[in-house]
Structure 1
Amino acid sequence: MSLAHRYDFVLIFDVKDGNPNGDPDAGNMPRLDAESGHGLVTDVSLKRKVRNFVGLVKEQEERAPVDGEKRFEIYVREKAILNHQNQRAYSALNLAVAPEEQAQAATENEATDAKKKKPAKDKRKGSADEVALARQWMCQNFFDVRTFGAVMSTGVNCGQVRGPVQLTFARSVEPIVALEHSITRMAVATEAEAEKQQGDNRTMGRKHTVPYGVYVAHGFVSSFLARQTGFGADDLELLWQALGQMFEHDRSAARGEMATRGLYVFQHDSELGNAPAHALFERLAITPKEAGAVARSFDAYSVGFDSRGLDIGETVQAAPGVKLTRKF
């Protein structure tokens, strides 16, 4: 069932004594806006958690698909080789395309041609019709392709997909404090380290945390792009479920206490939309209850729309033709 409405949504989550999204270029410190001190979590990190949740809840279903159809596989998953995923579309559709060995040869030819300063011939691309069929197959079988989109032209060419669901970076409501802790492991990895420490056998390390922070991300769902990828009402409901519960199944030593605190969805009567997204987002405010106080729990904040609190399950008229519902 295709979508008949435009959706904009606000995701609110918090972290306590954890690292919501470390920056590998900064020693895995929590990501920060250097000018304001507000914490950041990338859209890529949030999408990864959605992918992991969908893969978790749909794993059994995908092992025994009804009528041989798989709809909830994950394209960008851990340790996946994307060109192998692309090849599956051509194999399933019995399309003639250069196999991986020829694609590799084409890559080597490109490198040789580049040295000769001659344009390389792209032997990896199928015909326009083949690419369109492969793209459709990928959308039908992979949840994250038809949801977030993907670039699938890196080897065996399945084209590109612009996803109907887009997320922004999440930004903390207030500036955060990024702490660094020294930690000790009572063991070493090698005999050489043990000899060097004369049997003390300790390994020192560092750990980074945010004492507490509330983060807000914005998202968008386009019914027009959904129609192109086959993203339907069942996919949308699975997305809402994933955003609400994804942190519950993403526990780690660095993210022991992260939780979704609210998922607010603006549903427009029309597909084009009845109000600008930014105007709706600005009217949903997350504010400290006591200005200047040090927050260490979500109880220190209030969520309101036009100065009104929102209860679970409450639906309000956000604007002419737009209703606001709390999904989680």
Structure 2
Amino acid sequence: MFNGRKELLFVYSVKDANPNGDPLNANHPRYDEETGQVLVSDVRIKRTIRDELMRMGEDVFIDGEPKTLKERFEELKTKLSTTNGDETLKKCIDTRLFGVTFALGKESFAWTGPVQFKWGRSLHKTKVEFVQGTGAFVTKEGGEQRTIRNEYIVPFALIGTYAIGNQYASERTQATDEDFNKLTQAAWNGTNNLITRSKTEHRSRFLMEIWYKPDFNGLIGSLDERIKLTKKDNSLLDDDEQLAIRNIQDIALNLKEICDKVSLLKDNIEKIIIIKDPDLEVKNIDDLKSILGEDKVAIELR
């Protein structure tokens, strides 16, 4: 099981791409019309992580292929030399982390995953643009008029998502701290490996893990809502300036509110791990070392 509770904040950028299309709305990027933020579902984020875990050689239950539950289960039973669902799924890292509902034959159970993601949201107002292009094929045999291709893109968005690692739920699924480490690496590398036509220019920018001591049951909560996007001089961006962002080097991320919360909980925090893109300026990041001590904060530039 997890040695203690964990919180995860992950921030990545999207440029001239579709972060998460809605298939019931012509693949329009998911969008909050009230706030002007683009949205990314937790399912999309977990798909990115699963794909990268498979590249890492990990066994996963949900591999993204169109198969029945029985077909997938039989595949895994043969590969993993197991005899029942409980034993098989405990060998799959995605079910240990995200949980699963299993009902096949006389065996049925449901695991609540110890890692629960919120929906991702852009940290600023952004826009969605509708673009058209010419397709490769004509509309009919012998014709000259080519098909028209329609699509939506987001010019730029810096998106934040947040997850909690629940040590109690990890007892049932047998998820370990090493599993959590693999998840964070898969989130970072998997986002950079989203190299498809609609997902090119997805770039990991900032990742923070807060590991709590084993006897602590609290948390800061909603880390994605406690970071602020600002100008380089630390002043806030107005609506027009938020819509005009096109480059990560034109903005900064401010961690002051998180630092204030860490200060209140410092006696319960075991360590903080940070991965940061050197192109993203992060304000107050060194304050974490002042609060917790140099030995409890690890910062990696990647």
How far residue 281 of structure 1 moved from its aligned partner, in angstroms, is: 5.3
2:62 to 76, 95, 120: 76
How far residue 232 of structure 1 moved from its aligned partner, in angstroms, is: 1.2
How far residue 286 of structure 1 moved from its aligned partner, in angstroms, is: 3.3
CA offsets 1:213-255 (integer angstroms, 9 cap, x no match): 1111110111222222121122111111111111222211111
* Cα 1:288/1:27, change in 2 over 3 Å: farther
Greater fraction of residues in strand: 2
Cα distance in 2 for residues equivalent to 1:93 and 1:239: 24
| One-letter amino acid of the structure 2 residue matched with residue 75 of structure 1 | F
Task: Report the equivalent of 1:168.
Answer: 118
- Structure 1 length-normalised TM: 0.72
CA offsets 1:259-311 (integer angstroms, 9 cap, x no match): 11111111112354344424x555443334462322101123222322799xx
| One-letter amino acid of the structure 2 residue matched with residue 86 of structure 1 | F
| One-letter amino acid of the structure 1 residue matched with residue 72 of structure 2 | Q
Task: Report the equivalent of 2:245.
Answer: 295
CA offsets 1:71-99 (integer angstroms, 9 cap, x no match): x31211222322223356778555xxxxx
Task: Report the equivalent of 1:220.
Answer: 164
Aligned residues: 262
Q: Given that residues 226 and 258 in structure 2 are in contact (C-alpha distance below 8 angstroms), is that contact kept between their aligned partners in structure 1? A: no
CA-based RMSD of the aligned residues comes to: 2.5
1:325 to 2:269 alignment:
no
* Cα 1:168/1:3, change in 2 over 3 Å: same
Cα distance in 1 for residues equivalent to 2:225 and 2:153: 29
How far residue 155 of structure 1 moved from its aligned partner, in angstroms, is: 5.5
Task: Report the equivalent of 2:17.
Answer: 18
CA offsets 1:79-129 (integer angstroms, 9 cap, x no match): 2322223356778555xxxxxxxxxxxxxxxxxxxxxxxxxxxxxxxxxxx
Q: Which has the larger radius of gyration?
A: 1
Task: Report the equivalent of 2:198.
Answer: 254
* Structure 1 unpaired stretches of 5+: 59-71, 95-132, 310-315
- Structure 2 length-normalised TM: 0.78
How far residue 201 of structure 1 moved from its aligned partner, in angstroms, is: 4.9
State the identity %. 22
Stretch deviating more after TM superposition (43-52 or 231-240): 231-240
Q: Secondary structure at the match of 1:174?
A: coil
How far residue 205 of structure 1 moved from its aligned partner, in angstroms, is: 1.2
